[in-house]
């Protein structure tokens, strides 16, 4: 193992044991990476060093103010942030830094500032509440945070319950004394990036577990660059003059890859939007003349009906991931725009897409084939490879793989070197992989992963609820929606008014996208003799 640059060794100390790690493949020549590697040098600094600092890098708006930064602009801000982290906040390589904010140029600068300083970026969804943030901060032993001023209230509450989180700076506020921008103003615009080892952790991405307990997935500097050299050049084939845009937050690896890492890897530009509903995304594509769009199937379906109201002539490539792409949605979008969607499946554990098909090979109902650099197969319950046509568990291996932070669930996700994604697939006669269902209790709705037990825990906090069970209900528009079966306490009336009250309560307790869109009141729930909830019986 190459000597680590980390002074704080928490991440390396909590990697899975060698025997629990997935088998990694570095078979492609472009995956022969150097032993010392800093992602910020590769994605950002090298363009400035090559004399391309004046190229457009990031566009968007923040607090209503337009932003248009070149590569040199982003580098200067990231360098100043790195200096604030090191000089003012005492960050040492290996410390974890929580990042909170909607997609913006400043959030991108914070991400690069952390990486430059040798820190580990811990992205969090802007919608998460205190209840969801505390376990992340505790599990990752987060010591520093850079937070959008508009989200400060929840983080102050977290800080009160997490004594190790001692250093906090706010950005995108009024720039007053004590803000990140005020601290940056006195810093030089140069910084010597930490000489990280290629296998130093640079990113912790948290994902919901089926039990509702978050899982921290750890990624090396090497992982992010390896991902850049597999799916993007093979399936996306974007160019330096492309303008990327999309809806996934940078806290999701789908968004971090598609809207920051991948465009900057080729010297392209990206549009980072704070508001990314379908109603906002379409006019933004027209306004910024975007050429490459990343979003979930739900958004493509919603946008298809409004395409005629906007000038989308600049758009040439559309990428879907986050949930299975229905054949009807693929057809609807192509009829509306003439563009064949590039579908793919990835996972937070492997960072990004590992099975995909480009426009020429797209087939309704199929996800695609393994991206070069990855291998995939379908396994039965005993771990034997199944022939085409038979349904089993999707297994993947490649240059990236699952590395949970101090989590026994590593043994469930990784078996005999394979990453088991929790998806049921079969292989068609043409060799393409065809999605069948999830093999666990995860609910995938509108591109978001939602753990049923987490929603159940929120509902049980309401004084009217005696017990409840939550499942994913098939839905034409969103793939699945969260449905709750609720048993009330004596004296409560299960009517529409109470259902609406429970939905509002959930939105205030956990991230709003997790709330149950359907509620059914019951006298009892199916349970085993030992009292375990039988969710499969709720699914009918």
Task: Tell me, yes or no, whether 136 and 46 share the same domain.
Answer: yes
Contacts 24+ apart (CB under 8 A), 280-287: 281/245, 281/246, 281/247, 282/306, 282/307, 282/309, 282/310, 282/312, 283/310, 284/245, 285/245, 285/310, 285/312, 285/314, 285/315, 286/310, 286/311, 286/312, 286/314
In eight-state DSSP terms, residue 53 is: T
Q: Are 119 and 8 in contact (CB under 8 A)?
A: no
Task: Tell me, yes or no, whether 147 and 238 share the same domain.
Answer: no
Closest by CA to 183, choosing from 70, 86, 59, is 86
Task: Tell me, yes or no, whether 446 and 316 share the same domain.
Answer: no
Note the pLDDT of residue 86: 98
Q: Please tell me whether residue 317 adopts helix, strand or coil conformation.
A: strand
Task: Tell me, yes or no, whether 317 and 435 share the same domain.
Answer: yes
Closest by CA to 115, choosing from 31, 5, 17, 25, is 5
| Residue 66 bridge partners (DSSP) | 61
Whole-Å CA distances, 37 to 74, 104, 218, 464: 20, 26, 16, 55
Note the pLDDT of residue 528: 64
Whole-Å CA distances, 251 to 98, 103, 205: 10, 9, 7
The number of folded domains in the chain is: 3
- DSSP string over 219-288: EEHHHHHHHHTTHIIIII---TT-EEEESS-TTSHHHHIIIIIHHHHTT-EEEE-S--SHHHHHHHHHHH
Whole-Å CA distances, 184 to 121, 175, 455: 19, 10, 40
Q: Please tell me whether residue 70 adopts helix, strand or coil conformation.
A: strand
Note the pLDDT of residue 532: 61
Block residue for tokens 């022969």:
32
Here the tokens at position 22 are: 């997935």
The runs of H, that is alpha helices, within 341-495 are 410-413, 452-460
Block residue for tokens 């109201």:
309
* CATH of residue 339: 3.40.50.12780
| Residue 468 bridge partners (DSSP) | 486
In eight-state DSSP terms, residue 398 is: B
The answer for residues whose C-beta is within 8 angstroms of residue 336's C-beta and 6 or more apart is 304, 305, 307, 308
Count of other CB atoms within 10 angstroms of residue 493: 9
Closest by CA to 332, choosing from 320, 322, 344, is 320
299 φ, ψ (degrees, to nearest 5): -70, -40
Domain finish residue from 157, 190, 220: 220
Determine the structural domain holding residue 334 and report its residue range.
229-440
Question: pTM score, two decimals?
Answer: 0.89
Q: Would you say residue 61 lies in a domain?
A: no
Task: Tell me, yes or no, whether 410 and 454 share the same domain.
Answer: no
Task: Tell me, yes or no, whether 332 and 436 share the same domain.
Answer: yes
| Residue 533 bridge partners (DSSP) | 527
Give the separation between CA 438 and CA 441, rounded to whole angstroms.
7
Task: Tell me, yes or no, whether 436 and 302 share the same domain.
Answer: yes
CA atoms within 13 A on the CB side of 124: 30
Task: Tell me, yes or no, whether 115 and 251 share the same domain.
Answer: no
Task: Tell me, yes or no, whether 184 and 292 share the same domain.
Answer: no
Give the separation between CA 160 and CA 423, rounded to whole angstroms.
39
Q: Would you say residue 202 lies in a domain?
A: yes
Domain finish residue from 407, 440, 473: 440
Domain finish residue from 168, 189, 220: 220
Task: Tell me, yes or no, whether 359 and 244 share the same domain.
Answer: yes
Give the separation between CA 449 and CA 462, rounded to whole angstroms.
23
Task: Tell me, yes or no, whether 378 and 472 share the same domain.
Answer: no
- DSSP string over 110-158: HHHHHHHTT-EEEEE-TT--HHHHHHHHHHHT--EEEEEGGGHHHHHHH
Q: Would you say residue 77 lies in a domain?
A: yes
pLDDT in tens, the chain (540 residues): 689 999 999 999 999 999 999 999 999 999 999 999 999 999 999 999 999 999 999 999 887 788 999 999 999 999 999 999 999 999 999 999 999 999 999 999 999 999 999 999 999 999 899 999 999 999 999 999 999 999 999 999 999 999 999 999 999 988 888 999 999 999 999 999 999 999 999 999 998 766 678 899 999 999 999 999 999 999 999 999 999 999 999 999 999 999 999 999 999 999 999 988 889 999 999 999 999 999 988 889 889 989 999 999 999 999 998 878 888 889 999 999 999 999 999 999 999 999 999 999 999 889 999 999 999 999 998 999 999 999 899 999 999 999 999 999 999 999 999 999 999 899 999 999 998 877 777 788 888 888 887 898 899 899 999 889 899 998 888 888 999 999 999 999 999 999 999 999 999 999 999 999 999 999 998 876 556 677 778 887
| Residue 482 bridge partners (DSSP) | 472
278 φ, ψ (degrees, to nearest 5): -55, -35
């Amino acid at each position: 193992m190459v000597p680590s640059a980390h002074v704080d060794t928490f991440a390396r100390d909590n990697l899975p044991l060698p025997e629990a790690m997935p088998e990694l493949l570095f078979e492609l020549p472009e995956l022969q990476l150097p032993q010392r590697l800093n992602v910020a040098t590769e994605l950002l600094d090298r363009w400035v060093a090559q004399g391309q600092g004046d190229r457009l890098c990031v566009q968007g708006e923040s607090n209503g103010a337009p932003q248009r930064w070149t590569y040199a602009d982003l580098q200067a801000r990231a360098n100043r942030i790195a200096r604030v982290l090191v000089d003012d906040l005492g960050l040492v390589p290996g410390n974890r830094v929580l990042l909170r904010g909607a997609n913006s140029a400043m959030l991108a600068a914070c991400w690069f500032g952390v990486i430059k300083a040798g820190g580990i970026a811990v992205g969090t969804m802007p919608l998460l509440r205190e209840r969801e943030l505390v376990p992340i901060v505790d599990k990752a032993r987060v010591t520093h945070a850079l937070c959008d001023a508009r989200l400060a209230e929840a983080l102050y509450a977290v800080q009160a319950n997490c004594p190790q989180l001692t250093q906090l700076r706010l950005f995108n506020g009024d720039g007053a004394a004590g803000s990140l921008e005020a601290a940056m103003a006195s810093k030089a615009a140069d910084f010597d990036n930490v000489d990280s080892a290629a296998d130093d952790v640079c990113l912790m991405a948290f994902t919901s577990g089926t039990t509702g307990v978050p899982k921290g997935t750890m990624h090396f500097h090497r992982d992010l660059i390896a991902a850049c050299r597999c799916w993007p050049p093979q399936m996306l084939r974007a160019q330096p003059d492309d303008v990327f845009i999309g809806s996934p937050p940078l806290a999701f690896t789908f968004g971090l890859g598609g809207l920051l890492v991948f465009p900057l890897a080729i010297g392209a530009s990206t549009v980072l939007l704070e508001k990314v509903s379908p109603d906002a995304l379409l006019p933004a594509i027209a306004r910024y003349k975007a050429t490459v769009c990343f979003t979930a199937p739900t958004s493509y379906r919603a946008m298809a009906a409004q395409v005629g109201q906007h000038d989308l002539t600049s758009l040439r490539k559309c990428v879907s991931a986050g949930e299975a792409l229905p054949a009807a949605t693929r057809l609807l979008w192509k009829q509306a725009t003439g563009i064949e969607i590039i579908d793919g499946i990835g996972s937070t554990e492997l960072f990004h897409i590992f099975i995909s098909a480009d426009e020429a090979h797209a087939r309704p109902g199929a996800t695609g084939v393994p991206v070069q650099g990855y291998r995939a197969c379908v396994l039965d319950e005993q771990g034997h490879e199944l022939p085409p046509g038979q349904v089993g568990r999707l297994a993947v291996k490649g240059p990236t793989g699952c590395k949970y932070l101090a989590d026994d669930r590593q043994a469930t996700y990784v078996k005999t070197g394979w990453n088991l994604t929790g998806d049921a697939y079969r292989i068609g006669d043409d060799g393409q992989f065809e999605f069948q269902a999830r093999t666990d209790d995860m609910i995938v709705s509108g591109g978001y992963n939602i753990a049923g037990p987490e929603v159940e825990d929120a509902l049980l906090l309401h004084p009217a609820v005696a017990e409840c069970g939550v499942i994913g209900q098939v839905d034409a528009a969103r793939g699945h929606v969260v449905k709750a079966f609720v048993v009330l306490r004596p004296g409560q009336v299960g009517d529409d008014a109470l259902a609406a009250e429970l939905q509002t309560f959930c939105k205030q307790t956990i991230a709003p996208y997790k709330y149950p869109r359907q509620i059914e009141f019951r006298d009892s729930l199916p349970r085993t003799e030992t009292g375990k909830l039988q969710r499969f019986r709720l699914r009918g």
